[in-house]
């Protein structure tokens, strides 16, 4: 008995010593890691801070005062008014286009990615590995390499300079398919699906009534990734659209910035472009703050096992 107990005691002592060493090392390194994390946070926050401060300045203060400090007076309300009144309120049209493109593309891409990922994770069918390899390979292809072929394809179909030229390509999300395949493989037990089949439920009913309810955090993740990608998409609408009333915010603000850089009377657009850029990122911040609770609930659910 003593021979069998001693190795366990020695193992317990060794593991406790290892934990103490790890704790001491972590505590010793924590101040350094904290400084590094704060520096990284400041690095990523500086552009946003500059954007917020610059939105409170007029054109004279933009070029005369320090970039990370306020000007002689606050012109934020006037700048916001100029954003929505310049060019007969064209900014509001760009904002509506951006919301339309992003919401429709995000919802459609999320549903398609979820259905495809669920199918790859829970079904067996011919050429499954080859098809999934194609999905993984398409993740490696940069979107700029597909822009010209996509334009030629849509031009032959007569869909350029329409909203579908932006929405339809955005419905394809290979990374979303991969993410949902990985998530569905662990989040949905096969026994639960078999129980639904035994009860007489069809595959579509099982997917919508059982599968979707268990894929909440994955759905939100793909939704946000697609929403941000479509909201910030610049190159695709730039080559697909030629009517300025169909532009999203990215292309519209870039056109205004080009006009302001040309000088002359158009230089007064600098404050409008900066304030418009600040307004353009507010919906994304709100979306992240509103949807992060679904991530937190998913992490809490996955961290507890019976």
Which CATH number characterizes residue 102's domain? 1.10.3720.10
Establish if 61 belongs to a structural domain: no
Establish if 104 belongs to a structural domain: yes
Query: What are the structure tokens assigned to 13, written together?
Result: 């002592």
Residue 165 and residue 273 in one domain? yes
Residue 260 and residue 146 in one domain? yes
Residue 82 and residue 50 in one domain? no
Total tally of structural domains belonging to the chain: 2
Establish if 68 belongs to a structural domain: no
Give tens-digit pLDDT for 131-187: 999 999 998 888 888 888 999 999 999 999 999 999 999 999 999 999 999 999 988
Residue 37 and residue 121 in one domain? no
Establish if 173 belongs to a structural domain: yes
Establish if 13 belongs to a structural domain: yes
Establish if 59 belongs to a structural domain: no
Residue 152 and residue 282 in one domain? yes
pTM of the model: 0.81
Establish if 72 belongs to a structural domain: no
Cβ of 109: how many Cβ atoms within 10 Å? 24
Give tens-digit pLDDT for 221-242: 899 999 999 999 999 999 999 9
* Residue carrying structure tokens 């697609």: 226
Provide the domain limits for residue 296.
78-302
Residue 35 and residue 91 in one domain? no
66 contacts: CB under 8 Å, gap ≥ 6: none
Residue 35 and residue 107 in one domain? no
Establish if 141 belongs to a structural domain: yes
Query: What are the structure tokens assigned to 158, written together?
Result: 């007569």
What does the pLDDT read at residue 1?
43
For residues 110 and 223, the answer to whether their CB atoms sit within 8 Å is yes
């Amino acid at each position: 008995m003593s021979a069998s107990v001693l190795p366990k005691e020695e193992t317990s002592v060794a593991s406790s010593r290892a934990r103490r060493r790890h704790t001491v090392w972590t505590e010793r390194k924590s101040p350094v890691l904290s400084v590094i994390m704060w520096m990284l946070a400041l690095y990523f926050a500086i552009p946003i801070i500059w954007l917020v401060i610059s939105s409170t300045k007029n054109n004279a203060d933009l070029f005369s005062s320090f970039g990370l400090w306020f000007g002689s007076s606050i012109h934020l309300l006037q700048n916001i008014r100029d954003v929505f009144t310049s060019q007969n309120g064209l900014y509001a049209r760009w904002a509506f286009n951006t919301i339309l493109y992003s919401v429709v593309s995000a919802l459609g891409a999320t549903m398609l990615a979820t259905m495809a990922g669920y199918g790859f994770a829970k079904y067996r069918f011919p050429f499954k590995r080859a098809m999934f390899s194609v999905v993984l390979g398409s993740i490696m292809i940069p979107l700029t390499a597909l822009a010209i072929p996509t334009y030629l394809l849509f031009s032959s179909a007569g869909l350029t300079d329409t909203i579908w030229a932006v929405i339809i390509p955005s419905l394809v999300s290979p990374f979303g398919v991969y993410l949902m395949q990985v998530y569905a493989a662990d989040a949905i037990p096969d026994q639960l699906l078999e129980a639904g089949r035994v009860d007489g439920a069809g595959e579509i009913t099982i997917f919508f009534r059982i599968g979707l309810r268990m894929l909440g955090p994955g759905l939100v993740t793909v939704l946000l990734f697609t929403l941000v990608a479509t909201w910030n998409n610049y190159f695709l609408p730039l080559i697909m659209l030629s009517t300025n009333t169909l532009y999203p915010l990215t292309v519209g603000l870039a056109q205004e910035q080009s006009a302001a850089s040309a000088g002359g009377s158009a230089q007064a657009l600098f404050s409008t472009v900066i304030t418009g850029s600040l307004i353009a990122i507010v919906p994304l911040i709100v979306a992240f703050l509103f949807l992060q609770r679904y991530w937190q609930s998913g992490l809490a659910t996955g961290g507890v096992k019976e």
